[in-house]
């Protein structure tokens, strides 16, 4: 039986990182995905309001947001959509861990 593709919203403004994520998803063997891309928090929120997204992959350095506030802004409006944070390791070293936020970091 064919499973429905996982609907992923990638919020990322760096073209190389977008290509990297597309490559990773293209080689996935046990599931299929449908990837949509937003290049700012605002574009991401607009897409999330339409509905139907299963998971968010989000960079924390975007034209209209920076750092953990990016997560807070999106999560405040869509707490039901799981989010994986994409970040360079140096971006997260100085953050204070807040246990009330269910974060997963994927350092690229």
What tens digit of pLDDT does each residue of 61-77 get? 899 988 788 888 999 99
For the chain, which ranges sit under pLDDT 70? 1-2, 88-108
E-strand ranges in 1-108 read: 6-11, 33-38, 55-59, 61-62, 65-66, 83-87, 104-107
Residue 60 confidence (pLDDT): 85
Distance, CA of 78 to CA of 72 (rounded, Å): 10
pLDDT value, residue 100:
52
Q: In whole numbers, what is the pLDDT of the chain averaged over residues?
A: 83
C-alpha–C-alpha distance, residues 16 and 104, integer Å: 21
CA atoms of 102 and 108, how far apart (whole Å) = 19
User: Which pTM does this prediction carry?
Assistant: 0.82
Could you tell me if 37 and 7 are in contact, meaning their C-beta atoms sit under 8 angstroms apart? no
């Amino acid at each position: 039986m064919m499973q429905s593709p996982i609907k992923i919203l990638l919020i990322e403004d760096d073209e190389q990182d977008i290509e990297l994520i597309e490559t990773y998803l293209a080689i996935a063997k046990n599931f299929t995905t449908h990837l949509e891309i937003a290049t700012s928090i605002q574009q991401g929120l607009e897409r999330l309001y339409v509905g139907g997204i299963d998971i968010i992959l989000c960079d924390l350095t975007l034209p209209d947001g920076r750092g953990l506030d990016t997560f807070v802004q999106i999560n405040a409006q869509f707490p039901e959509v799981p989010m994986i944070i994409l970040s360079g390791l140096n971006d997260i070293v100085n953050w204070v861990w807040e246990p009330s936020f269910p974060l997963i970091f994927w350092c690229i």
